[in-house]
Structure 1
Amino acid sequence: MTRVLLEVCVDDAAGLRAAVEGGADRIELCSALSLGGLTPTAGLMQLAGRMPVPAYAMIRPRAGDFIFGDTEIAMMEAEIDAARQAGLAGVVLGASLADRCLDAACLARLTHRAVHMGRTLHRAFDLVPDQAAALDTAIDLGFERILTSGGEKTAAEGLAAITDLVRRAGSRLSIMPGSGVTLATVGPLLGTGVSEVHASCSVTVPTDDRRLVELGFAPETARRTDAAVVRALKAAL
């Protein structure tokens, strides 16, 4: 039976340590997971670079769409440099055109900057109007994998598309299901033949200090990576 790898997305030091403790095979390192993930801080990158598990930094300078101008692309290049200097194994990239097709020119520039680093294409892929064409673009650009929910809100809902993508990709790159992947939903995804899955392995926790909530410093509840959840999902793979 082929071993399926577990990538865990985290956005703070506690989550990073919990993912490592739980046995994650790889870390997707972010800030602001509640916004879909933004570029992590330099300090968090440096901490991850000292961990015994490979980490890929999300390179996304702001929330919202994935249409980036020259100023933002230059920022992203600097963020790739920071990830390299921190000793991270790779980066997670994505960029769109106004029609939601992949911005191949922008991605070529970013992948060139990330030469000799691992490269994941993120869920900007889930916006594209033609997944088969976008898959070919990703392969041409040298991505190792595509993180995707199959174009749906969750990977479970995108199961049919993920199955087709795995078939189309073959051995050329990995299709990594992500979004809503839990112990309860992972089974059918494993049946598609994927070799890795992406999950937050998180639990909901309340903010105990009401003053922080009142002043806008913290939400009512937050998601926190849980080592036991990581361990349980890893065992299921």
Structure 2
Amino acid sequence: MALTDDAIDKIKAMIVAGELAPGSRLPKEEILAGQLGLSRNSLREAVRALTAMRILITRQGDGTYVSSLEPHLLLESLSFAADVSQGATALQLLQVRRLLEPQATGLAAPLLKEQDLQELRNILDRSRTVTTVEEFVAHDIAFHLRIVEAVGNPVLSMLLQVLSTRTQRVRIVRGSRTRDALDNAHRDHEQILDALRSRDALLAASAATVHITAVEQWLATSLTDVPEEPLTC
């Protein structure tokens, strides 16, 4: 593994130094391996790892290229880590989300057009008619993402998606008393939308803070308390 790590570091160094620019094609395997002083096996392992990180992309029959290296593209590789996070790690992700999303919600308040607000209204209306947790979470994600997208920063949008993935949200709702969790979420969403409609950035940020903090507090409590009765799924 040490040899593979060394190979990864050498390729990254070439990218950072500008020797391999975004979108450029890597030299042929035997040439690059000789240039970096690596075995071809180590180079192949490094390319596989960097491809998984979205730093490199492989085009069938054409070769391997440096990706665009856009931050939001590279952040996608972190989604799996968020998906499998549980316990204290999931709580830490929620804490970071609480630091970022309320500010993004406040920034969105003056930027959302009337048609955007109507779209948010439609999402919330549909969320009240769902029959499964998975359907509710899909609408929940759409609601928050639509707000953040109004800010116009794809890095922020992707980072917030990574911090709270669909899998993680379903796990949290199922781990709580589902009916209560859904009722509370509906109430919080309505308060966020009301604040956005009033174009009140501070109120919108506050409503988003309350919403995320409630989930964070429940998760923190669940790490230390053992429920006296089974939780509804």
TM-score w.r.t. the length of structure 2 is: 0.22
The structure whose residues are more often strand, as a share, is 1
Query: Larger radius of gyration, structure 1 or 2?
Result: 2
Q: Point out which structure has higher relative CO (alpha carbons under 8 A, 6+ apart).
A: 2
